[in-house]
Chains A and B, each alone.
Chain A
Amino acid sequence: MTNPNPLLDEADRERVAPPCVLVVFGASGDLAARKLLPALARLASRHALPSSFSVVGVARSELSDDEFRDRARKAAPDAGPAWEELCGSFRFVAGEYDHPDTFARLHEALDTLDRERGTGANRVHYLATPPSTFGEVVEALGANDLNRPATGGQFARVVIEKPYGRDLDSARELDRRVHAVFDESQIYRIDHYLGKETVQNLLALRFANAIFEPIWNRRYVDHVQITVAEALGVEHRGSFYEQAGALRDIVQNHVMQVLSLTLMEPPATMDAQGIRDEKVKALRAVEILDPLDVGTETVRAQYDAGWVEGEPAAGYRSEDGVDPESRTETFVALRLDVDNWRWAGVPVYIRTGKRLPKRVTEVAMQFNAVPHLPFLARQARGLGPNALVLRIQPDEGITLRFGAKVPGQSFAVRTVSMDFLYGAAFAEETAEAYERLLLDAFIGDPTLFIRSDEVDQAWRICDPILGAWQQDESPLARYAAGTWGPKDADRLLERDGRHWRNP
């Protein structure tokens, strides 16, 4: 056992990764260039990477070490000398994922880095490859003895990107293949939403404050609204999106994570097990829709041409890579009910879509009306329901909406907003989600990664909806790009006497 490093402060040591090599499968791809390499560059410039750290890129593309290093530098051109120096140590292994020679050369690169760079025989494998290759790569890692640290090392981990399966069966099958090679403690299923500061702030808001928890239940909350809106269309991901759709792309992962953090019980401890146990319990309490109710409790739709943010936008079926007869949903609205002591009778309304008027993600807790309003109707005309809105992106913060007297001689009440703006209270530059999650994977903190049973529960909720939609051949609802979805989505709430918020 090596003694702790006395020359790093407690705080520094806590958030500095241990010596290791990050092996990126799919290193020549879009995710590596847009997210992973820039995140590593930021970690390097913040001194959060160990001195003994390096990256090995693995991909089918024929790149040399120098070409890969060049790509890494270009991915973060202003990152400074620390990144420049780090890039100089990167290696690249070109080859097929099912070819033993690829892994023999990977072994060689890793051994060299351990020797020359002091990377401690520790590995973090990152699967930034198409989802269809996850099982194959994981099995190859096992077959080539890369599922455990090399001699003298302490860990070998695997980070797996979303989507984790495309339905419950395929997710379970992937899990079976992954578990045949890696123990659950080695598996880090990533959903970048959990790396967002404001998603983590849900835990701080709920469990670090005495004033919110007492009202966080069916006695005070009328309903919950979760909105994940995107102004963008499918961009260059048309063919991928055709296979996914909004339910798989957003609801099964991002929304289910936000939902579970919003509804979960207070954990006994804020460690990985404490938090993930409670998230799973919350998901398990979500009532599964009967296939016969899917038609009334969900709305799926597709965008037509319209205007978004002052620009004309093509309809979904005209996008590159999209079938002109496509039935893939670009918008979902649904109502879920939660069967537990805290939330029974409190509906959760979810909506997500592409080509909506603006990019916004928020969770809104809408509270019950007062039992008796002691004002004349005309005095309270401007009064809306109390709401606590957690803005996840952009404009991160919290808004409390409540009634206040309008100044003047007469007595009138109007709803006002009390805003907490995250960026105004904390000047620290917030870490980008991938930056936070990569560092957590290096350090070995799985709290913000998704456990096997969480994936299972999220698919358990979404699977019957997908199944019912598959059987339903009626035309999809349509909405003009730049609007808040189809009328059917409004009716979903209106029949309950409620309305979507205007985020």
Chain B
Amino acid sequence: MSTILGTWSAEQTTVGEVETAIARLRRQEERAAVRAAVVTLVVPTFDDHEAAAALDVLRALGDHHPSRAIVLVKDGAGPAGIDAELRVHCIERDTRAVCFENMLLHVRGDTAHHLDSVVEPFTLPDVPVVVWLPHRLLTIDDPLLAAADRLVVDSRAAGGAAALSHLAFLTDRLPVSDATWLRLTPWRRLFGGLFEDTRLRPFLDDVRSIRVASRGIARLLLAGWLTTRLGLDRALVALDTGEHPAVELVGRAAGREGRFTVERTGDQELRAAAEVAGEARIERVADLGDRSTASMLGRALTAIGRDEVYEHALASALDFRR
């Protein structure tokens, strides 16, 4: 875990004063001299509660993904101005220290409508700017989008199925990482892995039916993924409800029917199975791994470029919603 090397706060301050304060905090502490940030992470929130939740995630994230994090609390009411709190964190690794800073900026009045002008001076040179939207999506004309190299969203928290078209607009504009999609990765890998067995792969060429169960947007994304990857008509896919994602695919090959499933079978366990008439049942198990928000955000921060599989799944998910 990180330790806090220094803090600073001020009300009704300026961008210049905040910059000076960061430099001073770093100079005071020899260990903080080496900056380790590989990304500037901007987190727009709309109240103190959202901001506190984001800061909790960033603390957990910092151990593995040191970044300059700027958490903005946007308050359009009242006179224009900025209140700021800074923290310089340090993680001791062997004999070295990795240091990074978190900034919490309350941005009020008219200034709140020009967050890009607040954020730009604080972005680190030569590293990407990632905008993380933990709760809701930005409007398509939000000036913060111009400062971003990548968006990290959670489509489930951002309004679920209702937010899909808005999300599709955003993916047209910027590379997007979606925590809901990332959480589905173990399901997709385990299910897809079944067909690494070349005897089973022909069943994907003649799919007779697919059933996808889950809550909310996850089943739409899974259904979109399967139809786009397998080139299927969506009429073959039935959507069902379920506490956890589950997929059942029925296909035929060489005159035999095969049934392939993946489902959650324990707190941390996923199980995939292949049943082909006349053959022994094949079962595979995978660990769900760390599914915390910090872990999903960490994975999103290491992503490079567009996730075209996700974008196609998202576009197809829109059809399922209609």
Contact = CB atoms under 8 A, between A and B. Distances in A.
A370 interface: no
B96 A81 contact: no
11 contacts: A6-B229, A6-B231, A8-B189, A8-B192, A9-B309, A47-B186, A50-B193, A82-B286, A117-B282, A120-B198, A425-B36
A423 B301 CA distance: 15
Interface in B159-198: 186, 188-198
A373 interface: no
Contact of A7 (B64, B95, B195, B198): B195
B94 A82 contact: no
Contact of B285 (A2, A6, A81, A425): A81
A419 B226 CA distance: 46
Given A7-B230, A427-B302, 13 more contacts: A2-B202, A5-B192, A7-B195, A51-B196, A52-B196, A81-B285, A82-B287, A118-B199, A423-B93, A425-B36, A427-B38, A427-B64, A427-B301
A116 B199 CA distance: 12
Contacts of B105: none
Nearest to B231: A6
Contact of A120 (B195, B197, B289): B197
A424 B204 contact: no
B36 A18 contact: no
B196 A16 contact: yes
Interface string A33-72: 0000000000001010011100000000000000000000
B266 A3 contact: no
Interface in A64-121: 80-82, 84-85, 116-118, 120
A270 interface: no
Contacts of A7: 188, 191-192, 195, 204, 226, 229-230
A5 B285 contact: no
Contacts of A19: 196-198
B229 A45 contact: no
A172 B96 CA distance: 46
Contacts of B231: 6
Interface of A: 2-3, 5-9, 12, 16, 18-19, 45, 47, 50-52, 80-82, 84-85, 116-118, 120, 394-395, 419, 421, 423-428
B298 A52 contact: no
Contact of B189 (A6, A47, A81, A118): A47
Contacts of A82: 284-287
Nearest to B192: A7
Contacts of B98: 421, 423-424
Contacts of A116: 280
- The majority secondary structure among interface residues of chain B is mixed
Residue from A47, A51, A425 whose CB has the most chain B CB atoms within 10 Å: A51
A48 to B, nearest CB: 10
B67 to A, nearest CB: 9
Interface in B197-217: 197-202, 204-205
Contacts of B287: 45, 80-82
Given A81-B286, A419-B34, A421-B98, A5 B196 contact: yes
Nearest to A120: B198
Given A7-B191, A19-B196, A82-B287, A118 B282 contact: yes
Interface in B52-69: 64-66
B269 interface: yes
A428 B36 CA distance: 14
B120 interface: no
A394 B94 CA distance: 9
The 5 closest A-B pairs by CB, nearest first: A7-B192, A424-B36, A80-B287, A85-B285, A118-B197
Contacts of A47: 186, 189-190, 193, 286
A45 B290 CA distance: 12
B283 interface: yes
Interface in B113-150: none
Nearest to A428: B302
Residue from B202, B204, B287 whose CB has the most chain A CB atoms within 10 Å: B287
Given A47-B190, A424-B98, A427-B64, A5 B195 contact: yes
B3 interface: no
Interface string B17-51: 00000000000000000101010000000000000
Contact of A425 (B38, B196, B197, B266): B38
Contact of B194 (A51, A425, A427, A428): A51
B268 interface: yes
A3 B197 CA distance: 12
B264 to A, nearest CB: 11
A394 B197 CA distance: 39
B221 to A, nearest CB: 14
Interface string B215-254: 0000000000010011100000000000000000000000
